[in-house]
Structure 1
Amino acid sequence: MCLLAFDASAQADRRAQGKADEWIGRDASDLLLQLRVDGGRVEITEDDQAGETRYSWATINPAWTETWTTGGNVVGISYGAPIYDSPVQVHERHHDATHRCTITFIADLEGIIRRWEMHGNACRSDVRRPKD
């Protein structure tokens, strides 16, 4: 069973890598036109010494709060929500934001993508291939 999970994970990683490989040899301006750049999603870093520009995208699962009610008997339903008699307790649990994937494309001085780096557990669904 563990071997099957590893194999499925390896196939997903290969799919993400295959999508990233399709950007190799393309102009970096295509990245900025085709991938989301709003909301601080892209970080551009220039390395003059190496003659490279790094374009990084990170995706996250946003923070969220789970709420549930305990205690009391259900005495009715209003608009699909249960109505409880006393005593009722409302509980909340906060869940922090979690990292999904970071992909960085590295372009040369001419602006051509030469390689990429990626890490994260959701890259298979977050990495996008170029639109032709």
Structure 2
Amino acid sequence: AIIPTIITQILSGAKEIKLGDLSPKRDLNFVLDTCEGFISLLNLKHFGEVYNIGSGVEYSMQEVLDLIQKILDSKVKIIQDEQRLRPKNSEVFRLCCDANKLKKATNWQSKISLEEGLRQSIEYFKENLENYKSELYNV
């Protein structure tokens, strides 16, 4: 859960934040888009198929960090925390979704950009920061 980790540490006033490897790339789909994808599947007449839900766009964790810092107008020092690194040879460096089957079956597609999703997430965490322990590493 790197996005909440970055956001809550910065919002808590940290000048240094602890992270793992920032080079892996992920397809980050906003939760409301994911829910819409699930809902679109409810209207299908046949069941038992496998569908992927995602944006089809990949971002490195460094790009995500940079965008969060830009939105928050913040610059923090990054400390690479050994606890947050995956064991040797277990990291998957690229995960990107192909949701064409879902789009073809339902016309669903991701609508919320990464930047807009981050803005909405940041607002949520600003309003609920007291519910999070930004100093803890949760796996």
Normalization by structure 1: what TM-score?
Answer: 0.24
Identify the structure with the greater strand proportion.
Answer: 1
User: Larger RCO: Structure 1 or Structure 2 (Cα < 8 Å, ≥ 6 residues apart)?
Assistant: 2
Q: Indicate the structure (1 or 2) with the bigger Cα radius of gyration.
A: 1
Identify the structure with the greater helix proportion.
Answer: 2
